[in-house]
Chain A
Amino acid sequence: MKALFSKKSLIVFGVYLLVAGLFPFFGSDYFLSVGIIMGLHAIVTIGLSLVMGYAGQISLGQAAFWGIGAYTTGILTTKWGMSPWFALLIAALIPAIAAFLMARAIAGLQGYYLAMATLAMGFIVQIVFGEWESVTGGMGGLVGIPALPLFDDLGVDFYYLVWGMVTLVLLFSLGIIHSRIGRAFRAIHKSEIAATSIGINVANYKLLAFVLSGLFAGISGGLYANYMGIIDPQPFGLHESIKFLTMVVVGGAASVWGALLGTILIGSIGEVMLILSEHFPMLKGDMDTIVYGAILVLCIIFMPEGLVPRLQKIMAKRQEEPLPAERKLGA
């Protein structure tokens, strides 16, 4: 029986644990909150990379699932008085169910049409958050969402809770990728006709990818509501969806590590811009959207496969062996 993980992936994982684990010791409270938000984003983007990089689908409305998770926690705790832990569980499930229903409805769509349908879904969900006042609190949002018991100081403890969740989601996704399920995702990405011929139900696997991404987004959204204590419709729209998409594409869609790295990279750029904007007022406001858009365009032109796959390719080139000598057929 072989080892569970290869040596190389153990090293990568070790570095990840070290960086994520030691981060809180090197920064102020402000950086801690940046780390928490990055972790929450990473949970969403890892799920999105399963949909985009592996199953080859697209979602321009991922922030909607994130928002459904946040609102589920918000409504259940503030209006129904439910325990925050139990609410978090339901906050993971409801977006997964929403993703299931959406994916069922648009199962036959491909390419531009799928992109447009997910885009529209994102708008609809955000409008519902804003207009369904009796339940969602409308544009004013929900206030007084309780923190999670045991993690209610919202500092270092919560940071570790979030990154513990990132680690779980990461390991779960890696497990899936290196299994028959992950290969089925990649197979339908390359050739639906070939996938069908070897017994893969294409529609079901697309559905599964969306459901997993909805589940992850829901977990993250629920935690976000617990962390913020107050939510309104504003962060759950197109702006955020495009940001998630940019993170995944820049890091490398066909790699969960890429999604993580892309999230940290884009998140850091956002922070740098925030700091710069104190000195350069022109960088205030929606300037970050323009920068993310520009990064997305440049990335698609010059590095369409994304950062991590590009690095892997360069590493592989360096130690590439010549093809093994061909043996005789059937020998």
Chain B
Amino acid sequence: MKLVEVQELSRSFGGVQAVKNVSFHVNEGEIVALIGPNGAGKSTVLNMVSGVIPPSSGEIAYRGQSLKKVAGDRYAGLGITRTFQNLQTFDDMTVLENVMTGLHSCTKSGVFSCGLKLPFARKEEEEMKKQAMQWLKLVGISHLALLKAERLSYGQLRLMEIARAMCSGPGFLLLDEPAAGLNHTETAQMTNTFRKFKEMGTSLLLVEHDMDMIMNLADRIIVLDQGAKIAEGTPQEIQEDARVIAAYLGQEEDSA
């Protein structure tokens, strides 16, 4: 069953065509990785699929519904959330509050029930706290819940951002280089966490440079080079694909 279907997606910035006619899909319960050399257009694809930037042309559908006319802030409500390559966290809030913001799309207390602290709003607030706490436990930073986010390390902030994106129970989570800046142990732990998400029924699309993580985690890999899709297949197939090796893996292995 296809969860996300991307067809003939293109995007140009001024005269530069960053993404050219890229098509792919993500099945329900699948982890798909998007790889490619720097400037291949991976992040641009991710930004288009998550509604951050509109495509120049092409179609994106989620659960059979076209996302063309869907505003960026409605993606979370539909079940599409994401994390960012350069962390986008709220560092003046506590870690718990950061994760609670992730529940915005599935809560509904209005300005008057919040301002007057009506029972409904208070109950919802308690529920949000509980739920956010569970996600902090799941990613392993619940002991930091009441600290200001600015005191966290880079790796911890990444986990917090992931908890924020996951706590609304999305069907589709997009991750932009989740392992960037993490050490080996942290990466291995994060890989396990992603497996848990998959077991919970969330499909993942991740852009990543860490080949260990990708080969361990991904069900399917899509390779982009200079804005176009050059290969698609299982980790095994991709590792053996001559075009991929020429475009990407060969160079990457040398430098890594």
Contacts and interface: CB of A to CB of B under 8 A. Distances in A.
Contacts of A186: 90, 92-93
Contacts of B139: 329-330
Contacts of A197: 50-52, 72, 75-76, 81-82, 84, 88, 165
Interface in A145-199: 172-173, 175-176, 178-184, 186-187, 190-191, 193-199
A98 B77 CA distance: 31
Given A198-B101, A199-B74, A4 B111 contact: no
Interface in A305-331: 323-331
Contacts of B122: 4
Contacts of A200: 73, 101, 104
A200 to B, nearest CB: 5
B144 A329 contact: no
Contact of B126 (A2, A254, A328): A2
A173 to B, nearest CB: 7
A259 interface: no
B84 A208 contact: no
Contact of A190 (B92, B144, B189): B92
B28 to A, nearest CB: 21
Interface in A200-251: 200-202, 208, 212
A198 B140 contact: no
A101 B196 CA distance: 47
B186 interface: yes
Interface in B57-104: 71-77, 81-82, 84, 88-93, 97, 100-104
Nearest to A305: B92
B140 A330 contact: yes
Contact of B109 (A4, A181, A208, A324): A181
A105 interface: no
B15 interface: no
A1 interface: yes
B14 interface: no
A310 to B, nearest CB: 14
Is chain B's binding surface mostly helix, strand, loop or mixed? helix
B93 A323 contact: no
B138 A330 contact: yes
B104 A199 contact: yes
19 contacts: A4-B122, A175-B114, A175-B117, A179-B125, A180-B103, A180-B109, A183-B90, A183-B97, A187-B101, A191-B90, A195-B73, A197-B52, A197-B75, A197-B88, A198-B102, A199-B73, A200-B104, A323-B147, A326-B156
Given A197-B165, A198-B101, A198-B104, 20 more contacts: A176-B114, A176-B115, A178-B125, A179-B114, A180-B104, A183-B93, A183-B104, A186-B90, A186-B93, A190-B88, A193-B84, A194-B89, A194-B90, A197-B81, A198-B105, A323-B147, A329-B139, A329-B193, A330-B189, A330-B193
Interface of B: 50-52, 71-77, 81-82, 84, 88-93, 97, 100-105, 107, 109-111, 114-117, 121-122, 124-126, 128, 138-140, 143-144, 147, 151, 156, 159, 164-165, 168, 186, 189-190, 192-193, 196
